[in-house]
Amino acid sequence: MTTQAVADTLDAVEETLSPAAERTEALVNQVLDILPLLGVALVAVLLFWMLGRFLSRRSWILGKLSRGSNLIKELLERTIPIVFLLLGIVVGLNIIDAMGVLSAVLGAAGVVGIAVGFAIRDTIENFIASVMLSIRQPFRPKDFVDIDGRQGSVVRLTSRATILMTPDGVSVRIPNAQVFKAIITNYTRNPERRITFQLGIDAEDDPRAAMDRGIAKMKALGFALNDPCPSAWIEEVGDSNILLSFAVWIDQSETDFLKAKSAAIRAVKDTLEAEGFTLPEPIYRLRIDQLPEALKATVFETDQPFEAPPPKKKSPRAPDEEDTSADKTIEEKVEEDRAASGEEDLLDEDKPTEFGDDGKDQPPA
């Protein structure tokens, strides 16, 4: 290759690289020009981040913002520094006059955020429901509740689900999004609870007298409350019987609901029978006009004398002497589960519920 060819090649390379070199030189000059502003921007970002860290460690601020919710308090401790860091970045970009970069980043983040939001929609919904439930506190640990037909004692409230223990000792996990929208029946909030049951008497009997006898017997039961006092009413009148409803109030903190209901039914039933009232049995009509002659002879022409069945024996123990004390088995199992498990619990024993401490409905603070 001749000297002229080499010179021509170098000239071509120089012509190709010179625009890039000029652009690089201009960029370096721009960086040097904004270097003082860049330093100010970095200082602003650092100051905002330090301010966020300072505020996230102030318990009195977090207490006011979280309203006593441990979940919200933990969330604020993590998000406040991030929020202040983002604010610092915005201020820094504004100082170096680079808001166009922020607009591009926000546009891309918006598209990504929409996609991620649809992907984790259920998780976000459960988390928001957990925050609301931790604030409102619709129940306490060991409360016996009914959530959309699922009954059990509350074990704990986590950031994802509400844990119940059924009367059979089975653990049930219900997503908090479902709990927040569900109809919740709390059987424990009011210690006084009414027991209601029905008994039928013959249509020829006096329903007023039967109700009076039943009310008097329920008043004599050791677990029955005098205020409100026991009551009874006619539920309906059938073709061959009168259906009566009886009601008695108990204190659930001292008396087991199912035991007391069983004892009350047996006490009123035995009293009505002893007073001569007839508790009707189902009546069936049997047509035998078309039976074969051989079967008729077997049924009606027998020499065997009729023997009445022996009378049924009843328990010698009176219903009011039965053990109706409160059953603490499930409460003890719930307490063992809470003590053994390391899971978080968003329920606070010291925080008032949305029903208030006296069981009356009150708005949350």
The 3-class SS string of 169-219 reads CCEEEEEHHHHHHCCEEECCCCCEEEEEEEEEEECCCCHHHHHHHHHHHHH
Instruction: Quote the pLDDT of residue 101.
Output: 64
Side by side, the strands of the sheet bearing 231-237 are 192-202, 241-251, 231-237
Instruction: Quote the pLDDT of residue 363.
Output: 41
Instruction: Quote the pLDDT of residue 211.
Output: 95
Partners of 148 in the β-ladder? none
Q: Give residues with Cβ within 8 angstroms of 365, minimum separation 6.
A: 67, 352
CB 213 within 8 A of CB 272: yes
The number of beta carbons lying within 10 Å of the beta carbon of residue 272 is 23
Q: Which residue has the tokens 């957990």?
A: 130
Q: Which residue has the tokens 């012509």?
A: 15
Instruction: Quote the pLDDT of residue 28.
Output: 72
Instruction: Give me the tens of pLDDT residue by residue for the chain, a chain 365 residues long.
Output: 567 666 666 666 666 667 777 777 777 776 666 677 777 778 888 888 888 888 877 777 777 666 666 666 777 777 788 888 888 887 777 777 766 666 666 666 666 666 666 556 777 888 888 888 888 888 988 899 999 889 999 999 988 889 999 999 899 999 999 999 999 999 988 899 999 999 999 988 999 999 999 999 999 999 999 989 999 999 999 878 899 999 999 999 899 999 999 999 999 999 999 999 988 776 666 666 665 665 555 555 555 555 655 655 555 455 556 778 888 888 888 888 888 877 777 787 766 666 555 444 444 43
β-bridge pairing 144-147 and 150-157: antiparallel
Instruction: Quote the pLDDT of residue 193.
Output: 94
Q: Give residues with Cβ within 8 angstroms of 258, minimum separation 6.
A: 327
Would you state the structure tokens that stand for residue 287, as one six-digit string?
């047509």
Instruction: Quote the pLDDT of residue 323.
Output: 77
Q: Give residues with Cβ within 8 angstroms of 332, minimum separation 6.
A: none
Instruction: Quote the pLDDT of residue 100.
Output: 64
Rounded CA separation 45/122 (Å): 34
Rounded CA separation 47/49 (Å): 5
Residues in the chain: 365
Torsion angle defined by CA atoms of residues 145, 146, 151 and 152, in that order, rounded to the nearest 10 degrees = -20
Rounded CA separation 45/42 (Å): 5
Q: Which residue has the tokens 């009378």?
A: 311
The enclosing H or E element of 78 equals helix 70-95
Domains and CATH numbers, the chain: 13-119 (no CATH), 192-283 (3.30.70.100)
Instruction: Quote the pLDDT of residue 318.
Output: 54
Closest CA to 49 of 84, 101, 8: 84
Q: What is the pTM of this model?
A: 0.63
Provide φ and ψ at 209, rounded to 5°.
-65, -40
CB 160 within 8 A of CB 130: yes
